[in-house]
Structure 1
């Protein structure tokens, strides 16, 4: 498959920004994109922008309006966001946008190639304060170009994979929101009187306050980032020996059914311990041991993630650079503990939802692997004749 430099198959256009202090340059009807506008997109297309320019603003900075079907490529802060515009628009200076030349390159094919080579594009950046890819560098980037007909076939297959991925992500987001919706439905009118969390736990403490002695292998040592998803992720680069683990957990063993709760930075995220595997964690994670006769661990987990508890955490958080919720405040959080029979009914339904969510997550990961496989095949000329061959169905 022949490779062609982007400068030969596209016109490359740099963006620009009018002076922000001049009011008459802003608030017009000319869409104006920034890299941040692309970072929130779930699909390939961009059809609106939060900020707009006037004709005077466009003229003041010599910016250019990109025709529909251009490929926007962010070249700094950060490098590698890609989208296709569905309306005419200008961009700020953080772009080196590409206007495909008719008969040479299909915009959607180019979008997929650039999206799949983000790390390569980032490696081309230069600069001390922040990295940027120059217009000349973008022009020299070579892309494999089969016939336009073949490009469109490849793009259609990759579009299908992306569409399935989007649908799976939407389904997963819906499932992840269901436990809180179920909690509100069952307990918003609960007659149970809220009580301080300390009354429903046998112990509330935190992880080690000292940096442990590290080992090459052994038991995982976790940080706040390891529970940021609401599940405990034992993948880490830090390990401790069996002896160190025993020392760190002697005062409060970590057991299945305990609840961890982040207290610094990304505070307010709970996760239930569902494994008997040994691990330890830093002091920025609170360690809650539910009183099993009073409150079910899964019920406590969902409640600790509820808006009611989050509001209490927000009110208690202190600090400027990294807000912190201390143990004293956590112990005083008000939560409910209805009769265990009601809690168990909730837990059964919630666990069924969680099982569906785990299946959806597995499906999403499989689709991500499939998409990468398709991209590799597509850009090396080995993509087969039909997407059906790759079993793209959900």
Structure 2
């Protein structure tokens, strides 16, 4: 019933963020709750297994190396488990063993991997593929072993990284030691390693929440010892881990299929948009047929809010090419457009003066810096202010309404924005290029060109990122080519762009809402499946 409940709805939630990863966690949750496989009376009970574990622990040499020992009595049950299972603690199923590191300044304490005493660190587990590990990047020598607190643990030891970071899990394929970044579990009985490792992966977030420390968080031996442990009969443990491995392979297949589907969709979307936006040879070079693919199948090509940015770029490119209308009645005649550049359109292109940071103040004239310029808009919520002495240069870099600014150095280089309101007394920093147009009414059109990859935006990017450290000089800006329609035609195109950007905004909101709905549905399904009786 649980599998049917989830798989029937999976197509509806497969596009939810981290859907496959949540499905993997769900499988682990089912496993440790006794809901993944059926219980079989002939396999006995966990109560009987606890007695065997108690006897094995009494003679285990690793129990003496354990950081702490626990009891199964009075364990607070985090959730219900089958009646054939028992709640105990991790210390009831294995010895908790730490590790050590000899002085790293002495190379004689170490040996090449595979030639000494196997020794692993959390970094080794982080770069290791697969659940089984035999050696780390280097081994301990016999000398190094004698100079640290590491303990040689047997094959089948479950390694759990307890710091930097917390939560890596692996099983040793032979005798092994670790550094002090582990709380490893040496099972008291053979055949329990896989289930203990499964438990640690399932409870990773719970364990991490119990970590403490200021410089770095660490899981103590006491925390590991007292962790509640849902214990099934031994034979059931084997069936559980086999089933988990099977379902994880299925998750891998689903993830691979999803990645392949997304890759194909992304390639198709990029190719379609690129073809529509291209203008080789003039006219409708993108072809009406290709544009039809985008408009008629956008719901398949554009499935994520992040995809809408590509659509916005296409709209801007079509706009500056005069290709936003396809019908002959409205189509723009670009043969009447003028080819010009920023130098010819401006009275001045300049940038802020150096050294103005000496004049920072808590109030006074506004000071526009690179962080105030986002792609296409000004951010005025975190403004700096300057108090400029009378003799300081200011008029050249003072902002007026309808000026255009471009980030020329630092973060956000090439970002343009229009000053579309009266800022009062305001100036730009040395990291901002300032464009003052002779005809202020051209400002929205010039901004559109500065945002369109097929126009000045593409030129800016090539010049800023052509070589060396990203940056622009004022000549880079003055020589930008600008296609210039008549002012009435500019207004008509800009009105259409604004309409289409409104459609993009609505599409982005709808996609975010749909994504959130899928996420909520997935969480609801998983919760219902976890809470459902077997």
Question: What TM-score do you get using the length of structure 2 for normalisation?
Answer: 0.38
Tell me which protein shows more helix as a share of its residues.
2
Question: What TM-score do you get using the length of structure 1 for normalisation?
Answer: 0.49
Q: Which has the larger radius of gyration?
A: 2
